Copies of this chain bind each other. A is one copy, B any other.
Amino acid sequence: MNITHGFKRALQVNADGLATVFGDRRRKWRDLGERAPRLAAGLASLGAGPGERVAILSLNSDRYLETYLAVAWAGAVIVPLNIRWSRQENEDALRDCRAAILIVDKMFSGVGESLAAALPGLRLVYADDDDAPAGAQHYEALLARSAPMPDAMRQREDLAGIFYTGGTTGRSKGVMLSHDNLMANALNALSEGLFPSEAIYLHAAPMFHLANGAAMFALLLSGGANVIIKAFSPEAAMASIEREKVTEVLLVPTMIQMTVDHPALPSHDLSSLTRIVYGASPISEAVLDRAMAALPDTQFCQAYGMTELSPIATILHWKEHIGEGRAKGRHRAGGRATLGCEVRIVDPSDQPVAPGIVGEIVARGDNVMMGYWERPEETARALVGGWMHTGDGGYMDADGFVYVVDRVKDMIISGGENVYSIEVENVVAQHPAVVQCAVVGVPSDEWGEEVHAVVVRRPDAQVNGEEIIAFCKARIANYKCPRSVDIRDVPLPMSGAGKILKRELRKPFWEEKERRVN
């Protein structure tokens, strides 16, 4: 099966059904059936032949979804670029994959022109509602002047996309995902009940990221409807959910927190929203509680994974967030292996460990990436015996629930003890004055690393570091408690995927240490 499979099915079974909504523009599957094969032909005429790379740097839009489809239809390879990246990071990625085409929207028009100037041979396509800048082809003109081409019918083992990852921890790597990888993940999600054909899905998370991509590819298979907003804001999300009677949305926990704490929440009817899938990072118990209270008609479901797994490895269903599941503490788990993905925990010599023992989370299945683009050594290190080594630490209980105790790289080692920041964050977040928090390791002459908390305070609340530390000491082991607390009134720095940029929080401490050492 390939990415275009579900599109053709949608044209067969639901041609007059809603495919995309973007602002006031509504398109049926029939419309996309007219447009995508033309756009594919247009892109092919610019160099997007089979296996060639087509990059896109854009806020969310209906054209973004159309581009995913058309690139697959042409047999080319999509390269969605991170909208939070610097111009240089994007240039590195475009050079790395030798992209033939770069598609940009109005927001990235200037960057696109600059990149096209720096990269001879890169064709620039402008995908927005106004006129294209000089030197760029207009998306709509390209589409209008091209005769529809037949589906290139890529095989399932063919490369479908390169998704750059790891920008927050150094030089990024291109994760190569085949049509099969993406469709296996879609079927895994669908077989667990997510993103069915009757879904009306809100693209609120960025479309370049595979957390949202997982939903999008599943919907391209099931034929559900796509409501798209340019970028996440609580106001835009709530307005779209109410207006379009959205049933499902993927959000990262920070977006959930911003929505449920938003003053305009009570004035919106969000009762159509049957499910919020959250991922990219665990949700704190305090935010989950507020979310459940604010959205009584909505079920929550966690997906844990990583781009290299296309991206889902485990799913935590709603029933584990409430009642008996919650009493057993399962709401703190990442979930259980999806139906099509094998997950286990291994020790440093790659042997499976017993239930309850922390080790590295590894996964195997048709959703495991082909490898890193032109990085055979890193591929060989990541994929051992067909198992993707996630780099995340975790344990599995006797019922197969995977608890992600920390990203291995985020684990704090203080005085020889392992401190998992998520555990500390869950405690800090329960403090009534706390809106958002992050816990990181900072250098300590005495302990190697010390636990440090960064806290965003409620606008109307008063709290100081001592109170936060005392709050923690009443609840968790002393060595896990923050030694220092930084109280802030502005949101924490976020990645394009909505993850808190802990690197940014740590940086001043480690730079300070550098200065002292040198």
- CB contact under 8 A between A9 and B399, given known A1-B366, A366-B1: no
Residue of B at shortest CB range from A223? B339
Q: Which of A386-430 contact B (CB under 8 A)?
A: 396, 398-400
Residues of B with C-beta under 8 A to A187? 187-188, 191, 339-340
A367 shortest CB reach to chain B, Å: 10
**Once bound together, how far apart are the Cα atoms of A289 and B476, in whole Å?**
62
Q: Looking at the complex, which one of B188, B221, B340 makes contact with A339 (CB distance below 8 Å)? A: B221
**Once bound together, how far apart are the Cα atoms of A156 and B365, in whole Å?**
11
Residue of B at shortest CB range from A401? B13
**Once bound together, how far apart are the Cα atoms of A340 and B222, in whole Å?**
9
**Once bound together, how far apart are the Cα atoms of A8 and B398, in whole Å?**
14
Q: Looking at the complex, which one of B5, B13, B396, B400 makes contact with A14 (CB distance below 8 Å)? A: B400
Is the CB–CB distance between A222 and B339 below 8 Å?
Answer: yes
Residue of B at shortest CB range from A8? B342
Residues of B with C-beta under 8 A to A184? 1
Is the CB–CB distance between B12 and A400 below 8 Å?
Answer: yes
Write the A205-247 contact mask toward B (1 if CB under 8 angstroms, else 0): 0000000000000000110000000000000000000000000
**Once bound together, how far apart are the Cα atoms of A9 and B344, in whole Å?**
10
User: Is A459 an interface residue, CB under 8 A from the partner?
Assistant: no
User: Is A337 an interface residue, CB under 8 A from the partner?
Assistant: yes
Is the CB–CB distance between A336 and B400 below 8 Å?
Answer: no
A191 shortest CB reach to chain B, Å: 4
**Once bound together, how far apart are the Cα atoms of A187 and B189, in whole Å?**
10
A361 shortest CB reach to chain B, Å: 13
Is the CB–CB distance between B1 and A340 below 8 Å?
Answer: yes
Write the A137-179 contact mask toward B (1 if CB under 8 angstroms, else 0): 0000000000000000000100000000000000000000000
A370 shortest CB reach to chain B, Å: 15
**Once bound together, how far apart are the Cα atoms of A396 and B365, in whole Å?**
35
Is the CB–CB distance between B1 and A337 below 8 Å?
Answer: no
Residues of B with C-beta under 8 A to A366? 1, 156
Residues of B with C-beta under 8 A to A342? 5, 8-9
**Once bound together, how far apart are the Cα atoms of A336 and B13, in whole Å?**
7
Q: How many copies does the complex hold?
A: 2
**Once bound together, how far apart are the Cα atoms of A340 and B366, in whole Å?**
15
Q: How many residues of chain A get a CB closer than 8 Å to chain B's CBs?
A: 33
**Once bound together, how far apart are the Cα atoms of A8 and B343, in whole Å?**
10
Residues of B with C-beta under 8 A to A399? 13-14
A158 shortest CB reach to chain B, Å: 14
Is the CB–CB distance between A340 and B5 below 8 Å?
Answer: yes
Q: Looking at the complex, which one of B5, B337, B339 makes contact with A190 (CB distance below 8 Å)? A: B339
- CB contact under 8 A between A337 and B191, given known A1-B366, A14-B400: no
A342 shortest CB reach to chain B, Å: 7
**Once bound together, how far apart are the Cα atoms of A398 and B12, in whole Å?**
7
User: Is A266 an interface residue, CB under 8 A from the partner?
Assistant: no
A357 shortest CB reach to chain B, Å: 15
A197 shortest CB reach to chain B, Å: 8
Residue of B at shortest CB range from A198? B319
User: Is A443 an interface residue, CB under 8 A from the partner?
Assistant: no
User: Is A348 an interface residue, CB under 8 A from the partner?
Assistant: no
User: Is A193 an interface residue, CB under 8 A from the partner?
Assistant: yes
Write the A320-359 contact mask toward B (1 if CB under 8 angstroms, else 0): 0000000000000000110110111000000000000000
**Once bound together, how far apart are the Cα atoms of A197 and B191, in whole Å?**
10
Residue of B at shortest CB range from A337? B9
Residues of B with C-beta under 8 A to A9? 337, 339, 342, 400
Is the CB–CB distance between A6 and B221 below 8 Å?
Answer: no
**Once bound together, how far apart are the Cα atoms of A336 and B12, in whole Å?**
9
Residues of B with C-beta under 8 A to A196? 193
**Once bound together, how far apart are the Cα atoms of A504 and B487, in whole Å?**
88
Residue of B at shortest CB range from A11? B400
Is the CB–CB distance between A339 and B6 below 8 Å?
Answer: yes
Residues of B with C-beta under 8 A to A1? 184, 340, 365-366
Residues of B with C-beta under 8 A to A12? 336-337, 343-344, 396, 400
**Once bound together, how far apart are the Cα atoms of A14 and B365, in whole Å?**
20
Write the A59-86 contact mask toward B (1 if CB under 8 angstroms, else 0): 0000000000000000000000000000
A-B contact pairs, 6 of them (CB 8 A): A6-B339, A12-B344, A187-B191, A190-B190, A190-B339, A222-B339
The 4 closest A-B pairs by CB, nearest first: A13-B400, A190-B191, A12-B400, A187-B187
| A-B contacts besides A12-B337, A12-B396, 15 pairs, CB < 8 Å | A1-B184, A1-B340, A1-B365, A5-B365, A8-B342, A9-B337, A12-B336, A13-B336, A13-B337, A13-B399, A14-B399, A14-B400, A156-B366, A191-B222, A222-B339
